Structure 1
Amino acid sequence: MQLVFTKGAGKHDQMAVVRDGVAVERIECPKQGIIPHDMVHYGVESTLHKRGFVDRILHGEAASFQMAAEEESDGVERLVEVFQADGWSGWTSAPADMLDLYQVTCNARQCAPLELHAEDIEAVRSKLLELSAQWQSVAVGGHLVLDFV
Protein backbone atom coordinates (compact mmCIF):
# COMPACT_ATOMS: atom_id res chain seq x y z
CA MET A 1 0.00 0.00 0.00
CA GLN A 2 1.12 3.53 -0.69
CA LEU A 3 0.07 6.79 0.86
CA VAL A 4 0.27 9.65 -1.62
CA PHE A 5 0.24 13.05 0.03
CA THR A 6 -0.54 16.00 -2.25
CA LYS A 7 0.30 19.52 -1.09
CA GLY A 8 -2.71 21.77 -1.51
CA ALA A 9 -2.82 25.51 -2.17
CA GLY A 10 -5.66 26.22 0.26
CA LYS A 11 -6.52 25.04 3.75
CA HIS A 12 -6.12 21.34 2.98
CA ASP A 13 -3.62 18.85 1.71
CA GLN A 14 -4.80 15.46 0.53
CA MET A 15 -3.88 11.86 1.20
CA ALA A 16 -4.73 9.10 -1.26
CA VAL A 17 -4.60 5.44 -0.29
CA VAL A 18 -3.20 3.51 -3.26
CA ARG A 19 -3.52 -0.25 -3.64
CA ASP A 20 -2.13 -2.04 -6.70
CA GLY A 21 -1.54 1.31 -8.41
CA VAL A 22 -5.12 2.54 -7.94
CA ALA A 23 -6.22 5.29 -5.55
CA VAL A 24 -9.02 3.63 -3.57
CA GLU A 25 -9.65 6.36 -0.99
CA ARG A 26 -8.90 10.04 -0.55
CA ILE A 27 -8.85 12.08 2.63
CA GLU A 28 -8.70 15.84 3.04
CA CYS A 29 -5.97 16.76 5.55
CA PRO A 30 -6.41 20.16 7.20
CA LYS A 31 -3.15 22.10 7.14
CA GLN A 32 -1.64 22.40 10.60
CA GLY A 33 1.67 24.17 10.06
CA ILE A 34 3.66 20.92 10.18
CA ILE A 35 3.37 17.70 8.21
CA PRO A 36 -0.18 16.35 7.81
CA HIS A 37 -1.67 14.45 10.76
CA ASP A 38 -1.82 11.21 8.79
CA MET A 39 1.85 11.60 7.85
CA VAL A 40 2.62 11.79 11.58
CA HIS A 41 0.71 8.49 11.89
CA TYR A 42 2.88 7.03 9.15
CA GLY A 43 6.05 8.13 10.96
CA VAL A 44 4.95 6.74 14.32
CA GLU A 45 3.55 3.45 12.99
CA SER A 46 6.34 2.69 10.54
CA THR A 47 9.00 3.37 13.17
CA LEU A 48 7.41 1.60 16.15
CA HIS A 49 5.57 -1.11 14.15
CA LYS A 50 2.35 -0.44 16.04
CA ARG A 51 -1.24 -0.80 14.87
CA GLY A 52 -2.80 2.60 14.32
CA PHE A 53 -4.78 4.41 11.63
CA VAL A 54 -2.41 3.57 8.74
CA ASP A 55 -1.96 -0.07 9.74
CA ARG A 56 -5.71 -0.48 10.08
CA ILE A 57 -6.16 0.85 6.54
CA LEU A 58 -3.47 -1.56 5.33
CA HIS A 59 -5.48 -4.42 6.80
CA GLY A 60 -8.71 -3.44 5.08
CA GLU A 61 -10.49 -0.84 7.19
CA ALA A 62 -11.87 2.24 5.49
CA ALA A 63 -9.88 5.43 6.01
CA SER A 64 -12.25 7.25 8.33
CA PHE A 65 -12.02 9.92 10.99
CA GLN A 66 -14.26 7.78 13.23
CA MET A 67 -12.69 4.33 13.50
CA ALA A 68 -13.94 2.02 16.23
CA ALA A 69 -11.98 2.11 19.47
CA GLU A 70 -9.13 -0.38 19.70
CA GLU A 71 -6.58 -0.44 22.53
CA GLU A 72 -3.29 -0.28 20.61
CA SER A 73 -4.70 2.02 17.96
CA ASP A 74 -6.02 4.40 20.63
CA GLY A 75 -2.57 4.46 22.23
CA VAL A 76 -1.03 5.27 18.86
CA GLU A 77 -3.51 8.13 18.35
CA ARG A 78 -2.54 9.69 21.69
CA LEU A 79 1.14 9.39 20.74
CA VAL A 80 0.50 11.05 17.39
CA GLU A 81 -1.11 13.95 19.26
CA VAL A 82 1.98 14.27 21.47
CA PHE A 83 4.25 14.33 18.42
CA GLN A 84 2.05 16.95 16.75
CA ALA A 85 2.43 19.14 19.84
CA ASP A 86 6.19 18.59 19.66
CA GLY A 87 6.13 19.62 16.00
CA TRP A 88 4.18 22.78 16.76
CA SER A 89 6.88 23.56 19.37
CA GLY A 90 9.70 23.13 16.87
CA TRP A 91 10.42 19.40 17.36
CA THR A 92 12.58 20.15 20.41
CA SER A 93 10.72 18.74 23.45
CA ALA A 94 12.79 16.53 25.73
CA PRO A 95 11.90 12.83 25.31
CA ALA A 96 11.18 12.53 29.05
CA ASP A 97 8.73 15.44 28.82
CA MET A 98 7.02 13.82 25.84
CA LEU A 99 6.69 10.53 27.69
CA ASP A 100 5.16 12.39 30.65
CA LEU A 101 2.72 14.22 28.36
CA TYR A 102 1.84 10.92 26.71
CA GLN A 103 0.96 9.40 30.10
CA VAL A 104 -1.19 12.42 31.00
CA THR A 105 -2.94 12.31 27.62
CA CYS A 106 -3.64 8.58 27.91
CA ASN A 107 -4.92 8.96 31.47
CA ALA A 108 -7.21 11.83 30.44
CA ARG A 109 -8.69 9.73 27.63
CA GLN A 110 -8.76 6.52 29.70
CA CYS A 111 -6.50 4.88 27.17
CA ALA A 112 -3.84 2.25 27.82
CA PRO A 113 -0.46 3.76 26.89
CA LEU A 114 2.02 1.93 24.70
CA GLU A 115 5.22 0.83 26.40
CA LEU A 116 7.72 3.45 25.26
CA HIS A 117 11.22 4.62 26.11
CA ALA A 118 13.24 7.73 25.35
CA GLU A 119 14.93 5.86 22.48
CA ASP A 120 11.52 5.26 20.87
CA ILE A 121 10.72 8.97 21.06
CA GLU A 122 14.07 9.84 19.49
CA ALA A 123 13.63 7.28 16.70
CA VAL A 124 10.14 8.55 15.82
CA ARG A 125 11.28 12.18 15.96
CA SER A 126 14.14 11.37 13.59
CA LYS A 127 11.66 9.85 11.14
CA LEU A 128 9.30 12.82 11.48
CA LEU A 129 12.13 15.28 10.86
CA GLU A 130 13.04 13.32 7.72
CA LEU A 131 9.41 13.44 6.56
CA SER A 132 9.23 17.16 7.39
CA ALA A 133 12.26 17.89 5.21
CA GLN A 134 10.78 15.86 2.35
CA TRP A 135 7.39 17.57 2.70
CA GLN A 136 8.95 21.06 2.74
CA SER A 137 10.59 20.35 -0.59
CA VAL A 138 7.25 19.42 -2.21
CA ALA A 139 5.73 22.23 -4.28
CA VAL A 140 2.03 23.05 -4.13
CA GLY A 141 0.30 20.45 -6.29
CA GLY A 142 3.22 18.06 -5.84
CA HIS A 143 3.22 14.66 -4.18
CA LEU A 144 5.12 12.72 -1.54
CA VAL A 145 4.67 8.95 -1.92
CA LEU A 146 5.21 6.74 1.12
CA ASP A 147 5.18 2.94 1.05
CA PHE A 148 3.59 1.13 3.99
CA VAL A 149 3.78 -2.64 4.30
Structure 2
Amino acid sequence: MQLVFTKGSGKHDRMDLIRDGHIAESIECPKQGIIPHDMVHFAVESVLHKRGFIGRVLEGEAASFQMQADSESDGVERLVEVFQADGWSGWSTAAADMLDLYQVTCTARHCAPLEVLAADIEAVRGKILELTAQWQSVPVGKSLTLQFVHGASAH
Protein backbone atom coordinates (compact mmCIF):
# COMPACT_ATOMS: atom_id res chain seq x y z
CA MET A 1 0.00 0.00 0.00
CA GLN A 2 1.22 3.48 -0.78
CA LEU A 3 0.52 6.53 1.34
CA VAL A 4 0.59 9.70 -0.72
CA PHE A 5 0.77 12.84 1.41
CA THR A 6 -0.05 16.02 -0.51
CA LYS A 7 0.81 19.37 1.01
CA GLY A 8 -2.17 21.70 1.00
CA SER A 9 -2.21 25.49 0.89
CA GLY A 10 -4.92 25.89 3.53
CA LYS A 11 -5.61 24.29 6.88
CA HIS A 12 -5.29 20.71 5.63
CA ASP A 13 -2.92 18.37 3.90
CA ARG A 14 -4.26 15.15 2.34
CA MET A 15 -3.32 11.50 2.55
CA ASP A 16 -4.41 9.17 -0.24
CA LEU A 17 -4.24 5.44 0.43
CA ILE A 18 -3.31 3.63 -2.77
CA ARG A 19 -4.12 -0.07 -3.09
CA ASP A 20 -3.51 -1.96 -6.33
CA GLY A 21 -2.77 1.30 -8.14
CA HIS A 22 -6.05 2.97 -7.19
CA ILE A 23 -7.00 5.47 -4.49
CA ALA A 24 -8.80 3.40 -1.87
CA GLU A 25 -9.43 6.31 0.50
CA SER A 26 -8.50 9.94 1.01
CA ILE A 27 -8.14 11.57 4.40
CA GLU A 28 -7.91 15.28 5.15
CA CYS A 29 -5.07 15.85 7.61
CA PRO A 30 -5.37 19.05 9.69
CA LYS A 31 -2.08 20.93 9.71
CA GLN A 32 -0.47 20.78 13.14
CA GLY A 33 2.88 22.51 12.71
CA ILE A 34 4.75 19.21 12.39
CA ILE A 35 4.41 16.32 9.94
CA PRO A 36 0.85 15.03 9.48
CA HIS A 37 -0.56 12.79 12.23
CA ASP A 38 -0.77 9.81 9.88
CA MET A 39 2.86 10.29 8.86
CA VAL A 40 3.75 9.92 12.55
CA HIS A 41 1.70 6.70 12.47
CA PHE A 42 3.76 5.55 9.50
CA ALA A 43 6.99 6.12 11.45
CA VAL A 44 5.80 4.36 14.62
CA GLU A 45 4.19 1.40 12.87
CA SER A 46 6.95 0.80 10.33
CA VAL A 47 9.87 1.15 12.75
CA LEU A 48 8.32 -0.83 15.61
CA HIS A 49 6.46 -3.32 13.37
CA LYS A 50 3.23 -2.70 15.28
CA ARG A 51 -0.32 -2.76 13.95
CA GLY A 52 -1.98 0.62 14.28
CA PHE A 53 -4.27 2.73 12.12
CA ILE A 54 -2.24 2.25 8.93
CA GLY A 55 -1.80 -1.48 9.48
CA ARG A 56 -5.52 -1.87 10.06
CA VAL A 57 -6.34 0.04 6.88
CA LEU A 58 -3.82 -2.11 5.00
CA GLU A 59 -5.74 -5.16 6.22
CA GLY A 60 -8.93 -3.73 4.72
CA GLU A 61 -10.60 -1.72 7.48
CA ALA A 62 -12.13 1.56 6.46
CA ALA A 63 -10.07 4.60 7.46
CA SER A 64 -12.21 6.07 10.20
CA PHE A 65 -11.72 8.26 13.22
CA GLN A 66 -14.02 5.88 15.12
CA MET A 67 -12.37 2.49 14.69
CA GLN A 68 -13.21 -0.32 17.10
CA ALA A 69 -10.94 -0.60 20.14
CA ASP A 70 -7.96 -2.90 19.64
CA SER A 71 -5.25 -3.36 22.26
CA GLU A 72 -2.21 -3.08 19.98
CA SER A 73 -3.53 -0.27 17.79
CA ASP A 74 -4.74 1.63 20.88
CA GLY A 75 -1.20 1.39 22.27
CA VAL A 76 0.16 2.65 18.95
CA GLU A 77 -2.25 5.60 19.00
CA ARG A 78 -1.10 6.64 22.48
CA LEU A 79 2.54 6.40 21.35
CA VAL A 80 1.78 8.53 18.28
CA GLU A 81 0.29 11.15 20.62
CA VAL A 82 3.48 11.13 22.70
CA PHE A 83 5.60 11.64 19.56
CA GLN A 84 3.35 14.49 18.45
CA ALA A 85 3.88 16.18 21.83
CA ASP A 86 7.62 15.67 21.36
CA GLY A 87 7.35 17.30 17.93
CA TRP A 88 5.52 20.32 19.31
CA SER A 89 8.38 20.63 21.81
CA GLY A 90 11.07 20.57 19.10
CA TRP A 91 11.75 16.79 18.87
CA SER A 92 14.09 16.97 21.85
CA THR A 93 12.34 15.27 24.78
CA ALA A 94 14.52 12.72 26.57
CA ALA A 95 13.54 9.14 25.70
CA ALA A 96 13.03 8.30 29.40
CA ASP A 97 10.61 11.23 29.74
CA MET A 98 8.72 10.10 26.66
CA LEU A 99 8.42 6.60 28.08
CA ASP A 100 7.07 8.08 31.33
CA LEU A 101 4.55 10.20 29.41
CA TYR A 102 3.53 7.14 27.40
CA GLN A 103 2.79 5.22 30.62
CA VAL A 104 0.75 8.15 32.00
CA THR A 105 -1.16 8.50 28.73
CA CYS A 106 -1.95 4.80 28.57
CA THR A 107 -3.09 4.76 32.19
CA ALA A 108 -5.33 7.79 31.64
CA ARG A 109 -6.90 6.17 28.57
CA HIS A 110 -7.17 2.69 30.16
CA CYS A 111 -4.93 1.29 27.46
CA ALA A 112 -2.29 -1.41 27.79
CA PRO A 113 1.07 0.10 26.80
CA LEU A 114 3.24 -1.57 24.21
CA GLU A 115 6.66 -2.80 25.28
CA VAL A 116 8.79 0.13 24.21
CA LEU A 117 12.43 0.80 25.11
CA ALA A 118 14.48 3.99 24.97
CA ALA A 119 16.22 2.62 21.86
CA ASP A 120 12.80 2.23 20.21
CA ILE A 121 11.99 5.87 20.98
CA GLU A 122 15.26 6.98 19.40
CA ALA A 123 14.72 4.79 16.32
CA VAL A 124 11.22 6.16 15.74
CA ARG A 125 12.41 9.72 16.34
CA GLY A 126 15.15 9.18 13.75
CA LYS A 127 12.53 8.08 11.20
CA ILE A 128 10.32 11.05 12.11
CA LEU A 129 13.22 13.47 11.67
CA GLU A 130 13.96 11.93 8.26
CA LEU A 131 10.30 12.30 7.26
CA THR A 132 10.24 15.86 8.62
CA ALA A 133 13.16 16.85 6.40
CA GLN A 134 11.50 15.26 3.39
CA TRP A 135 8.12 16.86 4.14
CA GLN A 136 9.64 20.31 4.63
CA SER A 137 11.14 20.10 1.12
CA VAL A 138 7.76 19.30 -0.48
CA PRO A 139 6.21 22.41 -2.06
CA VAL A 140 2.51 23.20 -1.62
CA GLY A 141 0.47 21.13 -4.05
CA LYS A 142 3.14 18.41 -4.37
CA SER A 143 3.32 15.01 -2.69
CA LEU A 144 5.52 12.66 -0.71
CA THR A 145 4.86 8.97 -1.37
CA LEU A 146 5.63 6.33 1.26
CA GLN A 147 5.38 2.57 0.84
CA PHE A 148 3.86 0.60 3.73
CA VAL A 149 3.97 -3.20 3.85
CA HIS A 150 2.85 -5.00 7.04
CA GLY A 151 5.15 -3.23 9.45
CA ALA A 152 7.96 -2.60 6.96
CA SER A 153 8.45 0.60 5.02
CA ALA A 154 10.37 1.97 2.10
CA HIS A 155 10.21 5.13 0.02
TM class by smaller structure:
over 0.9
Separation in structure 2 between the aligned mates of residue 66 and residue 36 of structure 1, nearest angstrom: 18
State the 1:20 CA deviation.
1.3
CA–CA separation in structure 2 for the residues paired with 1:50 and 1:34: 22
TM-score by length of 2: 0.96
Q: Does 1:26 align with 2:33?
A: no
C-alpha distance in 1 between matches for 2:60 and 2:23: 14
* Aligned-partner Cα distance in 2 for 1:91–1:66: 28
Question: CA deviation digits over 1:69-91, x for unaligned, max 9?
Answer: 00000000000000000000000
Structure 2 partner of 1:111:
111
Structure 2: tracts of 5 or more residues without a match: 150-155
TM-align CA RMSD: 0.4
Secondary structure, in 3 states, of the residue corresponding to 2:111?
Answer: coil
Question: What's 1:142 paired with?
Answer: 142
CA distance in 2 between partners of 1:6 and 1:51 (Å): 24
Paired with 1:135 and 1:62, the residues of 2 have a C-alpha distance of 25
- Matched-pair identity in %: 77
For residues 119-148 of structure 1, the C-alpha deviation after alignment (integer angstroms, 9 at most, x for no partner) is 000000000000000000000000000000
The aligned amino acid for 1:119 is A
1:24 Cα deviation from its structure 2 partner? 1.2
1:16 alignment partner AA: D
TM superposition outliers: structure 1 runs of 4+ over 4 Å: none
CA distance in 2, matches of 1:88, 1:142: 24
DSSP-derived class of the 1:72 partner: helix
Distance 1:26 1:110 in 2: 30
Give unpaired runs (5+ residues) of structure 1.
none
- Following superposition, the deviation at residue 51 of structure 1 comes to 0.6
Deviations 1:105-125 (Å, cap 9, x if unpaired)?
000000000001000000000
**Number of matched pairs:** 149
